[in-house]
Each structure stands twice: as structure tokens, then as C-alpha cells.
Amino acid sequence: MQQRRSGTAASVSGMTIAFTGFTMLRRTLHRLLAASLLLLAALQAQALTSEQARAIASGDSEDRIAALNKAVETADDKTAAFIQALSDDAVKTSGDEVFVMKDDKAYDPVSGAELKLPDDADDVINNNLMRSALDAAQAALKLSSKDDKVRAEAAAALFKDPDESRVPIVEKALAAETNPKIKAQLELVRDAGMLTSADKAKRLASAIGLGANTSPDTKLLLNQRLADETDPEVKTAILASVAKIDATLVWGERINAVFSGISLGSVLLLSALGLAITYGLMGVINMAHGELMMIGAYATYVMQGVFQRFLPESLFGFYLVAAIPVSFLASALVGAILERGVIRFLYGRPLETLLATWGISLMLQQLVRSFFGAQNVGVENPAWMSGGLTMLSNVTLPWNRICIIVFAGLVLLAMGWLIGRTRLGLFVRGVTQNRPIASCMGVNTARIDTYAFALGSGIAGLAGCALSQIGNVGPDLGQNYIVDSFMVVVMGGVGQLAGTVYAAMGLGILNKFIEGWAGAVLAKIAVLVFIIIFIQKRPQGIFAVKGRSAEA
Amino acid sequence: MQRRFTLKALTAAVAFASLGAVPAFAADTIKIGVLHSLSGTMAISETSLKDTILMAVDDINAHGGVLGKKLEPVVVDPASNWPLFAEKTKQLLGQDKVAVIFGCWTSVSRKSVLPVLEEMNGLLFYPVQYEGEELSKNVFYTGAAPNQQAIPAVDYLMSKEGGGAKRWVLLGTDYVYPRTTNKILRAYLHTKGVKDTDIDEKYTPFGHSDYQTIVADIKKFSEGGKTAVVSTINGDSNVPFYKELGNAGLKAKDVPVVAFSVGEEELRGVDTKPLVGNLAAWNYFMSLKNPTNAAFIKQWSEYAKAKKIPLQMDKPLTNDPMEASWIGIHMWKQAVEKAGSTDTDKVIAAMAGQTFNAPSGIVSKMDENNHHLHKSVFIGEIKADGQFNVVWKTPGPVKAKPWSPYIEGNDKKPDHPAGKSM
């Protein structure tokens, strides 16, 4: 609305100028002068013409971009509105006519009048090339904005798609710019635009100037130019700038590698923590551990459904928070039933436990398949977990990974507190260290077993809740993590919480380090080989249980 | 009295039931096998193909069946387990005596059933784009060969319109289809003057879910020049891959990703807003506008609602392999009617030159010799709603070249299956 009103204002002022010119013509009869004035007025306030709109909206991308860049040079508010509509995919064409769509109604881009949309109208399709050009055009128009933030964004966007034809616009904006930060950015844009100039001096200045900016985009620009550059002097300048940028970027790459290692480590840690209790402390070889994680993930999915169906959309982002206790309780409940119903009869018989829990894992998978179907279900990231945190020009840390690292840390702390500082934890440790003596002291060991197993299962559920945010949720989710979980617990040393943490982080970083260098397939194999060798040399894991702990 | 009545009733019931059951016996129906993974990593892609075949069966039966007999589908689940594909094929051909099998997605599953098919002289309709390098007389390939998908996609990305890519990341799942496709693409890129230092080939295991390192590597690689990614990732790994791309802020305008196994169905449940502009190359898109496609989509939507197919009933989606399945079963029907028999060899002979009005808007033709369809190629960019904008297409149908000329020694191979009398 705003734009249309100001558009009308522009055409009114154009008419006023024309009218003044007309009276002048009548009064002084200096026809020639008046005619040129008219032309000038028309040029200055040249509104978007329908020919321009048609040329921008239809034809080959290359011609469209040329028309667009031309229109930007003499742009007014209508041009801006039209470009906006184009990048919103709200423009249709039919034959020679161009329509701007708004709320299912068609408008003329030039006059703003409402039109009847013919049935054969086609959407204007913008490919990547066209979209980049549209973004750059919009950015060029925004350079004169009063808002610092808009100008900064515009300068950043222009840098992505430099073009020599825009250098004059940028120069103009530079002259008017007062904010030093935006000024620096604009200088870069100008340099980038001149990189393809036919003038060697300009290219040289540009190549040296760009070395000051250490972003991957700059490196790409320089490298692209390097491929076509013929002048040796400019070539050396480009190479020097690239080397300078590389020296800075290498730090970002290191941070990336370490972060992805920690992130994988935190996933391993989450999936192994529950097992550290059920297998590590209690000695139950629980092959259904992965399925307890799967139940946690499905509980998250159910909560997502509940929020979608029963609660207002504004609250949807919180479904994950609500899913945390739900997934814990769901898995803990299944775990408790499992322990009461099956596992308590099998203590001290590891082989039977292994087989029984494996059978249970298959049953749980089939149960989920019958309820939710064999296909994966979609669990969405809430909006606050999408996107990433840009730390350096080449380091973007995804929010969902950051959240999971933090979450893993919190779960670890809570578990450490529960086992190390509470009465329940004391009983659990007592029972696992020496069952008969604990029993003599009046501890109800059977009940403690159930609690401990339910706790371990609940933590598996939390892991499932977290994993639903980064991977697929399907009936066989657990199968992908069960081997990893056992790997971590065995390597850390059975019965050692600290060992689990070290093993998870160590394996995560090791895996990512090898992957960066030998690929994902080899990394997986290499880690397994490493563990086999490690366990052969040191069967008790990183940390051995010291002292006289009696076998339960 | 009581007992006699019961006896009588029983006899009557049995007689009646056997009367009623007669049409269900093999003699009066034609059994067809449906061999798609309904669980495991490939279920995301293959489940809807099973439903497409079942819809076609309903449709054909409602119009009088084939040779006056109703079709009777036998659905089995090979569970994304490659050796199980071969076992299930043996069961379908040996026990159930099906006339034809519609099935498989991954090339490794097709390679697994191939020996069984050839030994027992079965017939398979394979509906997915693949790497070529195979031509069996027992298989009809209704998906694209490399020259009907991979090569045009790379050509497009190299063109000015497509961004003028100079460097290439070839990323795939570790099995025969991505490896062979990438071998062909590498050879093709060499002919276009691309050096090995500008090609980065990467593989991940099936079901891989941690794409951090890969995306970071792509970012780094792309600093060296305009880069495009060719993705042959298959199955549900695509979801974490695209999620990671979006979260890491890698935009299609900077580094476009063209995928050969990602369609409308795989993007369901992915937030596509950060992925706008990434590409897929197929021979059909749901967004194509033509009357045949409109009817196809309508039929599928109604079928999905009527059968309460999960996910599809709320948001029906069609895709390229579904179209290929649809074409396949209809051409088979036409061939059976032409041959007047379901005998494998007679049907194979009758398949040559069959035509069918494809939802992609062309009259699709089965090649007279090489068991592949002539297909139009479309390149689409992902839109915010998960559909595709067609940004490039071939002027007309392209004949398949199963033996890619970019692999050495292929020029001597005949354009028809070995052992087939020509």
C-alpha cells in the first residue's frame, strides 16, 4: 500500500514537471529547450514501463538480467515493488501481459490497476541465476535506505554478486556513506566489481584491496578471476591475497573439525549414558537399549502431533521442551516393565539376558511398526533450532547440534548428581558393589534394580528425543546406535561414568578426524578396527574398576 | 437331528464357499509380484511405488482386467535387505508363479535379483533411474539411463544459465549406482576439460546421518571456484543431508546441489525453505502441467484417500519413479494383450515399440531393441513448498543409452540384450 501510494506521488510529480514544461513552452516558445526539459523530466522520474516489465519477466535469463540491470539504473518505487514481487514468485505472464499477484488478485505492475487474470497465465519461473540477479538488484536499490542495518545487508548482498555495471551506484553510495563499517563493506563491493574490469590498474587495486577481507566469498571471487587472468602482475597479487585469506580460514576449518567431533561425541555420549547404567553398573547386556531410544524418539513425535493438533501454532516451538519429560517417562516405563517382567529372572545369566533382550527389541520394533507404520515419521526442528550461529566467516555452527551438546552436558550432570549425591544413587552403587551386604543393611535390592533399570531406560529415551532432531525417526532407529553405545561403554570401562564420557568424546573426534581425511565409509571401519585392537590390549577399558569390588 | 443339520449346513457351506472361491484361484486371475522395500532405509522411497502398482491394478481390474482375467497382486517386503530381494524373487517366481514382477529401487537390489530372473526366466519391470551398464532380456527399465538424467543435469549446471560450474563434488551412497554414475560423470567431465583436481568424489554408508564433515568439506572445496554438487545419495540419508545443508547456510545460489534420487516424496518432512533453488533431474515432476498428469495426480489423491495411505492421504505426492511404475504396468498390460499370453518370451517380444500416454506429457515409447523407454529430461529447482520449478527440459524424448559411451569398451556392446534373437 505504502509503495503504491508513493508510486502515485512520483507520477504526479512527473506530471507537474511536464506541466511546468508545457506552460514554459507556451510562454516563451523556446520549443527546443522545452522538449529537452521534458525528456530530462521523463528520464529522471522514469517509471517502470510495461515493456521493461515484460522484458524482465519473460525470455532467456540472460536477456532478463540485462533488462533488470538496466531498469535498476533508472529505478523508482514501482520498479522496486515489481522486483520484490518477482523474487516472491508473485508474478504471472500471459502472452505480452504481466501480472503482479497479491492475495489472489492480479494487478498491473505499471498502473497498479486491478486486472482480470486470464486462465492461461503462467508463473514466472526464476532460476538460481535470475534469483541472484534479483537479490543484487534489490540490494542496489536499498543502498540509499536511511536504516543502517538495511544498508549493511544490501552491501553484503551486493558483494555476493559483483558486477562492474554497478560500480557507479556503489561509488555514489560510498560518497554518501557515514557509517565506517558499511563504508568498508562498500569499498569491498567496489573492489569486487572492478576485479573483472578491462583496466589492468583497476584489477590490480582490486586484487590487493580484496586481500583485506578474509571471507570464503572473497577467496572464491579471487580464484574465479585467477582462472581467467592473463596478466602476470595481477596474478601474483591475486595469489598473495588468496594466501592471506587461506591463513585465516584455516582456523575456521580447525574449529569446524573439532566442533563436529564434539557434536558426534555428544550424540554417542547421550546414547551410551543410559547403557552405562543398565550395562555398566547393573551388568545387564541390554540389546533392547536402542529400542528404548526409539521409543523416546516416537514419544517426541507424538508430542509434536499433540502440539500441532491441540495447541495454538505460536506454542509449537515448545513441543520439544514438553517432549523431554514425556520421552523420559515413556522409556522409563517400558524399561521398568521389561525389568519386572523379564530381566529380573535372568540376573547372572548374561547369555540368556542377551537373547531375551534381543527378542524384546524385535518385538518393540514390530509394535511400533504396527502403530506408526514402517516408514520414517517426520519430526520437525522447532524454529529456534533451525539455522546456525555464524562465528567466523567460514564457521557456522548449527543450532540443533549446539543444543544437543548442551543437552548431553546437562543430562550427564544430572546423572552424575543422581548417582553420586542422592540416596537412590547410594543404594544403586551399594547394590551393584555388593548385593548381599546391601540387602543385609535393609536395602530392598529388587526395587533398586527396577529403579536403576528404569533410570537407564529413561535416559535412553532422552537420547531418542535428542536424536529425533538430527536424524530420521523410524522403527529401526535403535539399530543404528546400539553398536555405537556398546562400543563407548566397553571402551570407557564397564562401570565407569567418567570413562564413558572420555570414550564418547574420544571416539567422536577420532571418527571425524579420520572422516575428514579418508571419508565416511573408511572412518567407520577404522574406528571399529581401532576399538578391537584397543580392547585386546586393554580389556578393562580406559578406566579399570579399582579395589575389591565383589562381582554381583 | 441337530448333528445332521450341522453336517448338511457344513457341506452346503463348503460347496458354496468353493463356488465363491473359484474366481480367486490362479486359473482365472493373473498373479503379479510387487517387490518393494516397505521397511528399512529404502522404505521412504519404495513404499509409494507399491501403492502405485496397487492403484494401477485396481484401475485395470475395474476396466475388465487383462485378457478377461483379473490381476492379483502378491506384495512382499524385502526390507531394504539386498540378499532378501533374491529370496523373495525366487518365492514369487517359484511358489506364487507370478507372471511379472514390478520392483526394486537400488541397483544393488536389482543386481541381486538378476541371476534369479535369468535362471527362472522371470520378467522384471524396474522403475528407477540407474547407472546403465546392464541389459538383461528379462528386465524392462522404465527409469532413466545416465544419458537421460545425469549427463543433461551436468550439462545444465555447466551452462551459463545453470551457474557455470567449474568444480564438482560427486557425493553418493556407497554402492554400485553412485559409483558407476560418478565414473561416467568423471569421464564425461574430463571430455569437457575439467581436471581431476576440480573433482571431489565422496561416499557415505547407507543410512548415514551425520553430514557435518561432508558439508564443511563442500564449503571449503567451493572456495576454489564455482562449485556444483552432484548428489547420488539414496534413501533416508537425504533428510539429514538436506537438514545439514540448510542449517550450515549453504545456499543454492552459491553452491547448487543437483540430486538424482530426491523427488517430491523424499522432501516430505524436510523444511524446504533453506533449500530453494537446489535441483533435481528427472523425467517427470508433479508440477508438470498437462491433462494426463492432472488426471494421474487426481487418481492418486483419490486412491490415497480411499485407502487411507499414511502421509499420502493428507498430502498426496507423485514422483518420477511412480510415473515410471505406472507406465511400466500399463505397457505390460498392452503387451500381454498383444501377445495374447503372459508367457515371458511372448510378452518380451510384444513389448518392443509399445507406447503409452505418460503423465510427463509425452507419448512414451518402449525402444524396439534396448528395453528402455524414450524419455524427456526435466531439470527442476526446489520451491519453498517442496515442489519443483522446471527450469530446463529437452525438446523431446531422448533414446536411452544403457552402455554409456564415456566408459571404455562400451562402443562395441550391442544395443539389445544378449541372447535375444533380433
Give how far A4 is from chain B: nearest CA, Å.
Answer: 27
CA B297, B380, B141 angle in degrees (round to 5)? 65
Chain B residues 381-410 with CB within 8 Å of chain A: 381, 383, 389-391
Task: Determine the 3-state secondary structure of A348 from DSSP.
Answer: coil
Taking Cα atoms as reference points, which of B150, B283, B111, B247 lies closest to residue A385? Answer: B247
Give how far B20 is from chain A: nearest CA, Å.
Answer: 31
> Which residues are CB-contacts of A316 (< 8 A; sequence separation ≥ 6)?
A307, A308, A382
End-to-end alpha carbon distance in chain A: 78
Closest alpha carbon within chain B to A476 = B40
Q: How many other CB atoms are there within 10 angstroms of residue A85's CB atom?
A: 20
With an 8 Å Cβ cutoff, are B247 and A376 in contact? no
Q: What are phi and psi of B11, to 5 degrees?
A: -60, -45
- Region at B349 (left for phi over 0; alpha for psi -120 to 50; beta for the rest): alpha
Half-sphere exposure of B213 (CA within 13 A, CB side): 27
Q: What is the 3-state secondary structure (H, E, C) of A446-472?
A: HHHHHHHHHHHHHHHHHHHHHHCCCCC
- Order of all β-strands in the sheet with B227-232: B199-204, B167-173, B227-232, B257-259, B279-282, B378-382, B388-393
Chain B residues 87-106 with CB within 8 Å of chain A: none
Candidates A128, A366, A395: best to mutate against B (most CBs of B within 10 A) is A128
Give how far B308 is from chain A: nearest CA, Å.
Answer: 12
Q: What is the 3-state secondary structure (H, E, C) of A119-184?
A: CCCEECCCCHHHHHHHHHHHHHHHCCCCCHHHHHHHHHHHHHCCCHHHHHHHHHHHHHCCCHHHHH
- Sign of the Cα pseudo-torsion (A131, A134, A139, A142, in order): negative
With an 8 Å Cβ cutoff, are B213 and A512 in contact? yes
pLDDT for the residue B122: 95
- Order of all β-strands in the sheet with B363-366: B355-357, B363-366, B373-374
- Reading the block at residue B252, the C-alpha cell is 543454492
With an 8 Å Cβ cutoff, are A470 and B209 in contact? yes
- Reading the block at residue B3, the C-alpha cell is 448333528
* Inter-chain contacts counted by CB atoms under 8 A, chains A and B: 157
With an 8 Å Cβ cutoff, are A257 and B254 in contact? no
pLDDT in single tens digits along all 552 residues of chain A = 444 444 444 444 444 444 554 555 455 555 555 555 444 444 444 567 888 888 888 888 888 888 888 888 777 778 888 888 888 888 888 878 888 888 888 888 888 888 888 888 888 888 888 888 888 888 888 887 888 888 888 888 888 777 777 788 888 888 888 888 888 888 888 888 888 787 888 888 888 888 877 788 888 888 888 888 888 888 888 888 888 888 888 888 889 889 999 999 999 999 999 999 898 888 889 999 999 999 999 999 999 999 988 888 888 888 999 999 999 999 999 999 999 999 999 988 889 999 999 999 999 999 998 888 877 888 888 888 888 888 877 888 889 899 999 999 999 999 999 988 999 999 988 888 888 898 998 989 899 999 999 999 999 999 999 999 988 898 888 888 898 899 899 888 877 788 899 999 999 999 999 988 888 889 989 999 999 999 898 888 887 666 554 443
Closest alpha carbon within chain B to A221 = B225
Q: How many other CB atoms are there within 10 angstroms of residue B105's CB atom?
A: 28
With an 8 Å Cβ cutoff, are B47 and A472 in contact? no
Contacts of B163 in chain A (CB under 8 A): 128-129
With an 8 Å Cβ cutoff, are B222 and A220 in contact? yes
- Reading the block at residue B322, the C-alpha cell is 511412480
The residue to which cell 529447482 is assigned = B381
Prediction ipTM score: 0.80
With an 8 Å Cβ cutoff, are B203 and A521 in contact? yes
Contacts of A249 in chain B (CB under 8 A): 220, 223
pLDDT in single tens digits along all 422 residues of chain B = 455 555 555 555 444 444 444 444 445 899 999 999 998 888 888 999 999 999 999 999 999 999 999 999 999 999 999 999 999 999 999 999 999 999 999 999 999 999 999 999 999 999 999 999 999 999 999 999 999 999 999 999 999 888 889 999 999 999 999 999 999 999 999 999 999 999 999 999 988 888 988 999 999 899 888 999 999 998 888 888 988 888 888 888 889 999 998 889 888 867 788 888 999 999 999 999 999 999 999 999 999 999 988 888 888 999 999 999 999 999 999 999 999 999 999 999 999 999 999 999 999 999 999 999 999 999 999 998 889 999 999 999 999 999 999 988 888 888 888 765 44
CA distances from A10 to A4, A141, A209 (A): 10, 16, 39
With an 8 Å Cβ cutoff, are A219 and B268 in contact? no
Q: Specify the pairing of strand B100-103 against strand B29-35.
A: parallel
Give how far B22 is from chain A: nearest CA, Å.
Answer: 32
The residue to which cell 533450532 is assigned = A385
B313 in reach of chain A (CB within 8 A): no
What is the Cα–Cα distance from B146 to B189, expressed in whole angstroms? 14
Give how far A169 is from chain B: nearest CA, Å.
Answer: 23
CA distances from A110 to A57, A78, A131 (A): 13, 7, 22
Q: Identify which of B244, B249, B277 has the shortest CB distance to residue A128.
A: B277
Task: Say how far residue B342 (Cα) sits from the centre of its chain.
Answer: 23
Q: Do residues A480 and B207 lie in contact, with contact meaning Cβ atoms separated by under 8 Å? A: yes
With an 8 Å Cβ cutoff, are A521 and B163 in contact? no
Task: Say how far residue A257 (Cα) sits from the centre of its chain.
Answer: 17
Taking Cα atoms as reference points, which of B239, B250, B203, B204 lies closest to residue A467? Answer: B239
Chain B residues 144-163 with CB within 8 Å of chain A: 160-163
A276: DSSP letter:
I
What is the Cα–Cα distance from B282 to A67, expressed in whole angstroms? 31
Contacts of B160 in chain A (CB under 8 A): 62, 129
- Reading the block at residue B89, the C-alpha cell is 524373487
Closest alpha carbon within chain B to A518 = B202
Contacts of B208 in chain A (CB under 8 A): 520
Taking Cα atoms as reference points, which of B154, B218, B226, B221 lies closest to residue B185? Answer: B154
pLDDT for the residue B25: 45
Contacts of B161 in chain A (CB under 8 A): 60-62, 127, 129
Q: What is the 3-state secondary structure (H, E, C) of chain B?
A: CHHHHHHHHHHHHHHHHHHHHHHHCHHHEEEEEEECCCCCCCHHHHHHHHHHHHHHHHHHHHCCCECCEEEEEEEECCCCCHHHHHHHHHHHHHCCCCCEEEECCCHHHHHHHHHHHHHHCCCEEECCCCCCCCCCCCEEECCCCHHHCHHHHHHHHHCCCCCCCCEEEEEEECCHHHHHHHHHHHHHHHHCCCCHHHEEEEEECCCCCCCHHHHHHHHHHHHHCCEEEEEECCHHHHHHHHHHHHHCCCCCCCCCEEECCCCCCCCCCCCCHHHCCCEEEECCCCCCCCHHHHHHHHHHHHHHHHHCCCCCCCCCCCCHHHHHHHHHHHHHHHHHHHHCCCCHHHHHHHHCCCEEECCCCCEEEECCCCCEEEECCEEEEECCCCCEEEEEECCCCECCCCCCCCCCCHHHCCCCCCCCCC
Give how far B90 is from chain A: nearest CA, Å.
Answer: 24
Contacts of A253 in chain B (CB under 8 A): 216, 220
Helix axes A180-194, A148-160, angle to 10 degrees: 20
With an 8 Å Cβ cutoff, are B391 and A127 in contact? yes
Task: Say how far residue B53 (Cα) sits from the centre of its chain.
Answer: 12
Q: Specify the pairing of strand B227-232 against strand B167-173.
A: parallel
B43 in reach of chain A (CB within 8 A): yes
- Reading the block at residue B310, the C-alpha cell is 499414511
What is the Cα–Cα distance from B26 to A422, expressed in whole angstroms? 69
CA B308, B313, B314 angle in degrees (round to 5)? 140
Q: Do residues B153 and B230 lie in contact, with contact meaning Cβ atoms separated by under 8 Å? A: yes
pLDDT for the residue A552: 36
B411 in reach of chain A (CB within 8 A): no
Give how far A524 is from chain B: nearest CA, Å.
Answer: 9
Candidates A129, A249, A362, A403: best to mutate against B (most CBs of B within 10 A) is A129
Q: Identify which of B207, B220, B248 has the shortest CB distance to residue A396.
A: B248
pLDDT for the residue A84: 87
- Reading the block at residue A225, the C-alpha cell is 578471476
B210 in reach of chain A (CB within 8 A): yes
Q: Do residues B351 and B335 lie in contact, with contact meaning Cβ atoms separated by under 8 Å? A: yes
Task: Determine the 3-state secondary structure of A373 from DSSP.
Answer: coil
Q: What are phi and psi of A518, to 5 degrees?
A: -125, 0
- Reading the block at residue A209, the C-alpha cell is 584491496
Residue type at B176 in one-letter notation? V
pLDDT for the residue A493: 83
> B392: exposed, middle or buried (C-beta count within 10 Å: 0-12, 13-18, 19+)?
buried
> Which residues are CB-contacts of A185 (< 8 A; sequence separation ≥ 6)?
A152, A155, A156, A159
- Reading the block at residue B70, the C-alpha cell is 483379473
Domains of chain A: residue spans and CATH: 143-230 (no CATH), 252-537 (1.10.3470)
- Sign of the Cα pseudo-torsion (B120, B121, B122, B125, in order): positive
Q: Which helix (H) or strand (E) holds A398?
A: strand A395-398
- Region at A348 (left for phi over 0; alpha for psi -120 to 50; beta for the rest): left
> A316: exposed, middle or buried (C-beta count within 10 Å: 0-12, 13-18, 19+)?
middle
Beta bridge partners of A434: none
pLDDT for the residue A503: 93
End-to-end alpha carbon distance in chain B: 72
Q: Identify which of A127, A132, A472 has the shortest CB distance to residue B236.
A: A472
A313: DSSP letter:
G
CA A384, A387, A391 angle in degrees (round to 5)? 110
